[in-house]
Amino acid sequence: MAIIVNLDVMMAKRKISLNELSEKVGLTLSNLSILKTGKAKAIRFSTLETICNVLDCQPGDILEYVNDATTR
């Protein structure tokens, strides 16, 4: 099982930089970068809510579940 983070896709669609998103969400660049690259182990709902608010999107636009068994 894998959770794919599509934050970079949504940022590109909304034409927002990592620096600008960091300022608007209130996260450090390093924490936002960890999330963007899919290396994060968890995300708080409040953080996800704020990101969705800033990017005007749904959580499913950012997070995607892929079943590894179906991709093999």
Q: CB of 3 within 8 A of CB of 37?
A: no
Helix 29-36 / helix 7-14 crossing angle, nearest 10 deg: 110
Domain 2-71: CATH architecture, name and number where available: Orthogonal Bundle (1.10)
pLDDT for res 32:
95
51 near 59, Cβ under 8 Å?
no
Per-residue pLDDT reduced to its tens digit, 1-45: 589 999 999 999 999 999 999 999 999 999 999 999 989 999 999
> Helix, strand or coil for residue 65?
strand
Assessment of whether the complete model's pTM goes beyond 0.95: no
